[in-house]
Structure 1
Amino acid sequence: MTKALETMIKQLSLEPVTTDIYLGESLDILRSGRIFGGQVLGQALMASSLTVVPERDIHSLHAYFIRPGDVNIPIRFEVERVRDGGSFSNRRVAAYQHNRHIFTMDASYHIEEEGFEHYDAMPDDIKGPENFISERQLVEQLADKLPPSVVKRYLVDGSPIEIRLAHPERYLKGGDFPAKTYYWFKADGHIEGTNSLIHKAALAYVSDAYFMFTSLFPHHQSSFDPHAQLASLDHAIWFHRPINMNEWHVYVMESSNAGSARGLTFGRIYNQQGVLVASTAQEGLIRHPVRFGNVK
């Protein structure tokens, strides 16, 4: 297991404080001065799941990012046991720092049941992970064109998840690109077990990476422009089938709308066998750097 993956798993392993209250460690893994949204998603999923019997599996979560997180102090997660019915359990998670509400999430759990089954097939034009290079290799090639914080993150700190972007040029420079892309990902190392809670939390963690940038592609806007104001506003995940983060998955993303300084993106996550394991949705703040500046 790499040090970066070990650090992520440690972050996702919460410290119990009292009944239904947990502490999660904060780290500035993006070197942006703010907590990565995927970290809070994964930790909140862990917190809610710790209050549900193992026979009930997470099937959906819906979250809102309310305030930027402080990377210098832990996050306090408070779980409300909304309902435990005959087949479903519902939980509400509120995350706090400095006694201020920074994040909220509703999660639903379901017993294992047989039922009808279908799913959208993986797009035919998806190329396998062997056709692309890793983020680290990409950063090595483009080190002189990227912010120093990005270079240090990948070449010094490392990443817990290996990601291989299909269209890196759509993030790096502004252009009139289609509002869609995909990337392959898996744990950079080995996570014990398969389809366990930690695998689902790791998927939630990576599901926020590069997601909202898809809505910028048609607008001649670089995702790395320091003058643009970009932030995740909400995030939803539907878990459909077993997840093994030790194997390659492909994240297919497409933005259906941009307007009013917000961009909406939908995602589908397939394993390498082409089976749909999860679906996602997110709206992000995408303020134009010239027109909006640093308006809050």
Structure 2
Amino acid sequence: MTDSPEADKNAVEDLIELLDLERIEMNLFRGHSPDVSWQRVFGGQVIGQALVAAYRTVEERVCHSLHAYFIRPGDPKVPIVYEVDRARDGKSFTTRRVVAIQHGKQIFNLAASFQSPETGFEHQSTMPDVPQPEDLPNERELRRAIESRLPPEIAKHFSRPRPIEIRPVNPQDYIDPEPMEPFQHVWFRARKSVGDDVALNQCIVAYASDMTLLDTCIRPHGVSWVSGKLQSASLDHAMWFHAPFRSDEWLLYTQDSPSASGARGFNRGSLYTRDGKLVASVAQEGLIRYHGKPKA
């Protein structure tokens, strides 16, 4: 596996470049996908890029919520065109709708709302008491232990430099998982400083929010996605931003799945800073379709 801090920092720069869309008309933007030889575009990438497209048409307001649907798999070999509909510019709120297009068809759509900063009532849930990230093995250490058991194409995918550092509190075996309760806690952060820009930090966290969430509803069923027996995909994704944060500082992503049925799993997530501030909430439903005979 690649263990290069410089490669990881370059991966963060690559992510920032990935989110820096090309404007091709007033409300049209073009994004690209990284060359990672994967079959479809990562969902978090499309969420992050669509949010960037919406932000490019908004001034002096901050996104407080987004709601998105994945309609078709994205093709990583061709650019994605993002078309922004300037739905409303009100006194306090701005609304945008974004459609992502490939091969002349919608692959994804997003609605986002932006608000002028203001103060008001405040309360929040309490952050779970979990080990600190320094006390946990990192993702590479966990995967190094199983690297020899992975199919070559999966091992290559795992070994690439990654912009987001992940440290799971209660990891599950990647290859032969035992059933576990449908919740997990994960610390994550960008591997390099990205600055204070609110929009950029939100877009990076939107990208990262799709990395582990769908796994939560699979945990009770003892099946690995590397086995080839599980078909999974994000169907929709929603986020609410409660307070500013830095994506390059540790965030605790606490996740649970209250229900799975009809080949779909429902997942929820809460994002806390190290000092216990709840800064974002997430919800997602995903396809989880099992191919083959389930474990006895």
TM-score by length of 1: 0.93
- Cα 1:194/1:168, change in 2 over 3 Å: same
Q: Deviations over 1:119-165 (max 9, x none)?
A: 101012x111012122222222210122323322343x210011111
CA contact (8 A) 1:63 1:105 kept: yes
- What percentage of residue pairs aligned between the two structures are identical? 44
Residue 66 of structure 2 is aligned to residue 57 of structure 1:
no
Report how many residues are paired: 287
Three-state SS of the structure 2 residue aligned to 1:258 is strand
How far apart are residue 203 of structure 1 and its match?
0.2
d(CA) in 2 for partners of 1:19, 1:164: 40
* Deviating 4+ runs (over 6 angstroms): none
Moved more, 198-207 or 131-140: 131-140
Q: CA RMSD, aligned part only? A: 1.5
Three-state SS of the structure 1 residue aligned to 2:40 is coil
Equivalent in 164, 167, 190 of residue 170 of structure 2? 167
Give the structure 2 partner of residue 37 of structure 1.
43
d(CA) in 2 for partners of 1:228, 1:222: 7
d(CA) in 2 for partners of 1:100, 1:7: 27
Give the structure 1 partner of residue 132 of structure 2.
128
How far apart are residue 188 of structure 1 and its match?
0.9
How far apart are residue 170 of structure 1 and its match?
5.2
Equivalent in 2, 5, 12 of residue 5 of structure 1? 12
CA contact (8 A) 1:202 1:245 kept: yes
Unaligned runs of 5+ in 1: none
1:151-230 alignment to 2 at 5 Å? 151-155=155-159, 157-169=160-172, 171-191=174-194, 193-230=195-232
Give the structure 1 partner of residue 121 of structure 2.
116
d(CA) in 2 for partners of 1:246, 1:179: 27
Give the structure 1 partner of residue 89 of structure 2.
84
d(CA) in 2 for partners of 1:148, 1:10: 28
CA contact (8 A) 1:216 1:223 kept: no
d(CA) in 2 for partners of 1:210, 1:223: 12
d(CA) in 2 for partners of 1:196, 1:170: 35
How far apart are residue 195 of structure 1 and its match?
4.4
Give the structure 2 partner of residue 18 of structure 1.
25
d(CA) in 2 for partners of 1:131, 1:201: 28
Give the structure 2 partner of residue 144 of structure 1.
148
How far apart are residue 291 of structure 1 and its match?
6.5
Three-state SS of the structure 2 residue aligned to 1:169 is coil
- Cα 1:176/1:138, change in 2 over 3 Å: closer
Q: Deviations over 1:48-72 (max 9, x none)?
A: 011001x210000000000000010
Unaligned runs of 5+ in 2: 1-5
Three-state SS of the structure 2 residue aligned to 1:233 is strand
Give the structure 2 partner of residue 286 of structure 1.
288
Three-state SS of the structure 2 residue aligned to 1:162 is strand
- Cα 1:28/1:219, change in 2 over 3 Å: farther
Moved more, 267-276 or 283-292: 283-292
